[in-house]
Amino acid sequence: MSKTEHSFTDMGLKAPILKALIDLGYEKPSPIQTICIPHLLAGHDVLGMAQTGSGKTAAFSLPLLHNINAELSAPQVLVLAPTRELAVQVSEACTDFAKYIKGLNVVALYGGQRYDIQFRALKKGQHFIVGTPGRLLDHLKRGTLDLSNLIGLVLDEADEMLRMGFIEDVENILAQIPAQHQTALFSATMPEAIRRITRRFMNKPKEVCIRSNITTTPDIKQSYWIVYGMRKNEALVRFLETEDFDAAIIFVRTKSATLEVAQTLEQNGYNSAALNGDMNQTLREQTLDRLKDGRLDILIATDVAARGLDVDRVSLVINYDIPMDSESYIHRIGRTGRAGRTGRALLFVEKYERRLLRNIERIMKLTIQEVDLPTSDMLSARRLERFSEKVRIHLQSNDLNMYHALLSKLQLEENLDITMLAAVLLKIAQGERPLILPSNPILGHRSRRALHVQDNTCQEKNERSLRRERCNISEMDLYRIEVGRNDGIEVRHIVGAIANEGNMSGCYIGNIKLFASHSTIELSKEISGKTLSHFTRMRILNKPMNLQFLGKVQSHNNRQTTTNSRVHYGNEKNEGNSRHFSGHRKNTMSMPINRRRFNSNA
């Protein structure tokens, strides 16, 4: 007897939801979706044990979106997620599922985002709320979130919330919602603390257990790089230059990213093209044909656009953006290693995405190797190797006598050494990619385990000092910016914003110190006044920097001091794990930036 095939249409979902699923390329439900969706549509509570990557986001969001009354402008579904990254991911997925439901709004509430943005969103009327426990509890205490009309509650990755210490916050939130509501809880494991929540807050839940059948092939060599010390697009070019590949696919998370990465690669001389959901079928087929027959070497694609893609000559897959689930990762790297060939898969991992990396390793039951960013010496050696290969090929040419005769016709100095002439021609022939690269600062290797135990701020501070010394930049000025740890700011956010907006090397950025409500940063005196003026209007995590000049940094006996006649540091007080100078006023507008530094001629 053949196994019954299920479809989303058979489940009775609303037509607007089915239309959105077709646009997103969903063909048939996954096992967890097949079981959970009917239970939730019927009004039952659901207790699901499933690994990340099983498709549980659609399993709970589709039926709950189906049950929402869009005409009632009030929160009706609440999803609790352990991290802001997962909260954003779930909210984006729900927004895609609900795009044809007229008047239905989805919002993500998480720490690090400005409150005024979230206040405005809640006042407009949101039907589907996705948030982290701490920020949701804060809104409940403020009275800005009303859950009196709630009909559906989801606890996503409950074991992760337990591990992160959020269970008490979760229980406080659950105690404030209406008694009559539907609950879905999903967890990869089921420790006793989670079981206690199910007994206390769930009503005879239907238990669903999905065993992972994800497998991988040993023919694909996998590795990852922790994004650190260089922007991802610059690092991508370095990795591509040091890799041997016939064709490559680079996976990104958004449609806009496919165009941005394609532009970067084109500027660096790579034959690449974007593939995303906005392309019509004809253009899509033409692009794939170019990849298959060798007219195209690199394809930048989203998961949806790359479904069903099968090209034998693809030997390298780069996950420019880490996928949110393990199944997507398996599907991505499965695009290489075809037809009995060996493949290579590289994964870029942001520091805050290590949880997703651990999920992938756990489900695949393997340890993915960490790799370092290719250095300038490696790039120089690689370019010289390729150039040498070109020379060897041309040595076999039959028309070299013609060019040999041209040597005597060149109007050069007499008795010119032939090796000197060869060096000159070599310099001319190198083109836009120099064979000799400057020893630019590449940050040293940092294992992900070391990241857990080292003080990140001190580590990055020391490495920035080293970069400054290598770049021969000694004179620095100290500035204050009005973002700190309470805003969810990390050192990497500040470095990335300054480097990107100023379009400058990290050499010009000195030590950075994070405090609760503000931070201090050292910037080179060589930065123009126009650039500094631009920084005053810049935002980090959507909060204004308000860059304020504090003084000049001087070095005496390897100890740095700051001098400024208008700034005096008072008694030092402890503030968290950093040092706080009570001499700073909260209203830093009383300390304007030195006008001389912002002269238009600077």
In this prediction, residue 448 carries a pLDDT of 43
Length, in residues, of the chain:
602
Helical packing angle, 167-174 and 192-201, nearest 10°: 0
Which range is least confidently modeled, 39-53, 212-226, 352-366, 439-453? 439-453
Mean pLDDT over all residues of the chain?
78
Q: Is the pLDDT of residue 591 over 50?
A: no
In this prediction, residue 432 carries a pLDDT of 64
Q: Is the pLDDT of residue 10 over 90?
A: no
Eight-class DSSP state of 206? E
Other CB atoms within a 10 A radius of the CB of residue 136 amount to 27
Q: What is the mean pLDDT of residues 188-212?
A: 83
Residue 171, exposed/middle/buried by CB under 10 A (0-12, 13-18, 19+)?
Answer: middle
d(CA 552, CA 525): 9
Q: Is the pLDDT of residue 580 over 50?
A: no
In this prediction, residue 469 carries a pLDDT of 45
Which whole-number Å values give the CA distances from 170 to 36, 87, 89, 161, 181, in the listed order? 23, 15, 20, 8, 16
Backbone angles phi, psi at 96, to 5 degrees: -65, -40
d(CA 57, CA 15): 19
In this prediction, residue 79 carries a pLDDT of 94
Q: What percent of the chain is predicted at pLDDT more than 90?
A: 21
Q: Is the pLDDT of residue 282 over 50?
A: yes
Select, from the ranges 232-241, 281-290, 422-431, the one with the highest average predicted confidence (pLDDT): 232-241
Burial 385-406 (b: 16+ CB within 10 A, else e): eebeeeeeeeeeeeeeeeeeee
DSSP β-bridge partners for residue 247: 314
Other CB atoms within a 10 A radius of the CB of residue 296 amount to 19
In this prediction, residue 383 carries a pLDDT of 81
Helical packing angle, 56-67 and 15-23, nearest 10°: 150
Q: What is the mean pLDDT of residues 33-44?
A: 91
- Between 173 and 421, the higher pLDDT residue: 173
Each residue of 332-345: pLDDT tens digit?
887 787 655 678 99
In degrees to the nearest 10, what's the CA dihedral of 195, 199, 201, 202?
A: 100
d(CA 519, CA 441): 24
Which whole-number Å values give the CA distances from 18 to 11, 38, 73, 98, in the listed order? 10, 15, 23, 10
d(CA 229, CA 218): 31
Which range is least confidently modeled, 223-237, 284-298, 577-591? 577-591
Other CB atoms within a 10 A radius of the CB of residue 475 amount to 11
Q: Is the pLDDT of residue 3 over 70?
A: no
Helices (H), 191-343: 192-201, 232-242, 255-267, 281-292, 326-333
Q: What share of the chain is helix, strand, coil (3-state, %, to 5)?
A: 40, 20, 40
* pLDDT band, residue 598 (cuts 50/70/90): very low
Cα angle vertex 537, ends 536, 542, to 5°?
120
256 CB contacts (<8 Å, ≥6 apart)? Answer: none
Each residue of 477-525: pLDDT tens digit?
899 999 888 888 888 788 877 877 666 666 778 888 888 888 999 888 8
Select, from the ranges 141-155, 424-438, 552-566, 581-595, the one with the highest average predicted confidence (pLDDT): 141-155
Q: What percent of the chain is predicted at pLDDT more than 70?
A: 78
Asked if residues 593 and 532 have their Cβ atoms less than 8 Å apart, the reply is yes
* pLDDT band, residue 463 (cuts 50/70/90): very low
Which range is least confidently modeled, 252-256, 305-309, 397-401, 447-451? 447-451
Q: What is the mean pLDDT of residues 289-317?
A: 83
Q: What is the mean pLDDT of residues 88-108?
A: 90
Each residue of 66-84: pLDDT tens digit?
999 988 989 999 999 888 7
Which whole-number Å values give the CA distances from 360 to 328, 381, 485, 498, in the listed order? 10, 34, 29, 33
d(CA 523, CA 553): 9
Q: Is the pLDDT of residue 53 over 60?
A: no
d(CA 433, CA 13): 56
Q: Is the pLDDT of residue 356 over 70?
A: yes
Q: Which domains does the chain have, with CATH numbers?
A: 9-209 (3.40.50.300), 220-376 (3.40.50.300), 458-598 (3.30.70)
In this prediction, residue 358 carries a pLDDT of 87
Identify residue 221 by its one-letter amino acid code.
Answer: K
- Between 309 and 128, the higher pLDDT residue: 128
* pLDDT band, residue 530 (cuts 50/70/90): confident
Question: Which H or E run includes 361?
Answer: helix 354-364
* pLDDT band, residue 416 (cuts 50/70/90): confident
* pLDDT band, residue 461 (cuts 50/70/90): very low
- Between 575 and 362, the higher pLDDT residue: 362
164 CB contacts (<8 Å, ≥6 apart)? Answer: 82, 83
In degrees to the nearest 10, what's the CA dihedral of 92, 96, 97, 99?
A: 130
d(CA 505, CA 499): 6
Which residue has 């004809």 as its token pair? 282
Q: Is the pLDDT of residue 367 over 80?
A: yes
Which residue has 């590795």 as its token pair? 223
Q: Is the pLDDT of residue 238 over 80?
A: yes
Edge-to-edge strand list for the sheet holding 46-49: 106-109, 128-131, 77-80, 152-155, 182-187, 46-49, 206-209
Tokens of residue 317, six digits: 């897959």
d(CA 57, CA 247): 33
* pLDDT band, residue 88 (cuts 50/70/90): confident
